[in-house]
């Protein structure tokens, strides 16, 4: 975790080390509360506590702390980064919603002046990024879509168990956005996601994430919160189990090396 990135930011009191650009401290407190509560929740499910820091920054500070597209929440090396305001491109999420579904979208995200706000939805994505902090360095998923599904599953479980009043806020946009037809996107295959990942483009990437969030909700509905730990453990091979697999499927000498290395 690179604590030098905190330079020039304002520390915001909370349950996790949280830092903000000047002027967005209030939003940072809100995001920090979500991050801290979900961190404690996932620590209880997974049985360990990785180091983490939370940055809520404006576009002026963004490129100094992350290489991601401004407004796309992300986590790496124990650092969670969230936008301090609502980038204009977030409004394009509404374009994924089919005309017949627009009334439901407006009911959940609409404002009194006839526009809509997606900031409260995006604040919840902080939980998704906290989940990434837990698996990075501790569990390698064999597919990128699986690691993203894991993070979305953690988000859905946290909302279900700790913040049920946010259920409609979390689930409505992904469910409606995932109905956007495949042929509307330059990339829609699993292979494209694995090869290009976030390079598919911001909105295209969000469409993939919406589909994964819908599946995470269905998985949680089928299997309950315990499935979070089962998915986390499913691809964890202790050294002795890895050696047995290498010895049986690759080469006994490599198995011996794996234990001696």
DSSP 25-55: HHHHHHHHHHHHHHHHHHHHHHS-----EEE
Contacts of 48 (CB under 8 A, 6+ apart): 134, 138
Q: What is the pLDDT of residue 96?
A: 95
One domain, residues 221 and 235:
no
Is there a single domain that holds both residue 8 and residue 103?
yes
Which parts of the chain register pLDDT below 70? none
Matching residue, tokens 């996932």 = 42
How much is the pLDDT for 207?
A: 96
Indicate whether 17 and 126 sit together in one domain.
yes
Mean of all residue pLDDT scores within the chain: 94
Tokens of 180: 């956007």
- Can you give the pLDDT at residue 237? 82
Whether residue 255 sits in one domain with residue 172: no
The pLDDT value given to residue 12: 95
CA 169 vs CA 16, 107, 173: distances in Å: 24, 10, 7
For residue 233, the tally of other CB atoms under 10 A from its CB is 10
70 and 24, same structural domain? yes
Question: Are 195 and 255 contained in the same domain?
Answer: no
Question: Per-residue pLDDT tens for 230-257?
Answer: 999 998 888 899 899 889 999 899 899 8
- To the nearest 10 degrees (0 to 180), the angle between helices 119-135 and 167-177 is 90
CA distance 208 to 195: 13
pTM listed for this prediction: 0.92
Is there a single domain that holds both residue 40 and residue 137? yes
Same domain for 217 and 235: no
Report the number of distinct structural domains present in the chain: 2
Contact by Cβ (8 Å): 153, 210: no
Model pLDDT, residue 261: 84
134 and 204: one domain?
A: yes
Angstrom distance (rounded) from CA 33 to CA 127 = 10
Residues 259 and 153 in one domain: no
Domain that holds residue 244: 231-261
Whether residues 183 and 252 fall in one domain:
no
Of 81, 29, 44, 73, nearest in space to 161 by CA = 44
77 and 162 both lie in a single domain: yes
Q: What is the CATH number of the domain that holds 96?
A: 1.10.390
Helices (H) and strands (E) counted in the chain, each on its own, are 11, 5
- In SS3 terms, 241-259 reads as HHHHHHHHHCCHHHHHHHH
């Amino acid at each position: 975790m690179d604590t030098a990135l905190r330079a020039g930011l304002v520390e915001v009191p909370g349950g996790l080390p949280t830092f903000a650009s000047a002027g967005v401290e209030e939003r940072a407190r809100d995001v920090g509360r979500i991050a801290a509560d979900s961190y404690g929740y996932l620590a209880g499910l997974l049985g360990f506590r990785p180091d983490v820091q939370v940055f809520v920054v404006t576009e002026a500070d963004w490129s100094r702390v992350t290489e991601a597209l401004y407004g796309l929440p992300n986590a790496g090396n124990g650092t969670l980064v969230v936008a301090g305001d609502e980038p204009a491109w977030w409004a394009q999420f509404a374009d994924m919603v089919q005309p017949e579904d627009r009334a439901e979208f407006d009911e959940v995200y609409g404002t009194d002046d006839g526009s809509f706000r997606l900031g409260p939805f995006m604040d919840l994505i902080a939980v998704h990024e906290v989940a990434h902090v837990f698996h990075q360095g501790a569990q390698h998923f064999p597919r990128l879509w699986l690691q993203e599904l894991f993070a979305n599953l953690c988000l859905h479980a946290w909302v279900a168990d700790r913040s049920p009043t946010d259920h409609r806020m979390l689930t409505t946009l992904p469910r409606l956005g995932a109905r956007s037809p495949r042929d509307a996107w330059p990339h829609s295959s699993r292979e494209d996601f694995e090869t290009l990942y976030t390079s598919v483009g911001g909105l295209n990437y969000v469409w993939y994430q919406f589909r994964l969030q819908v599946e995470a909700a269905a998985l949680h509905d089928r299997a309950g919160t315990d499935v979070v730990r089962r998915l986390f453990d499913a691809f964890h091979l202790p050294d002795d189990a890895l050696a047995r697999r290498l010895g049986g499927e690759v080469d006994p000498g490599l198995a011996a090396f794996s234990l001696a290395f």
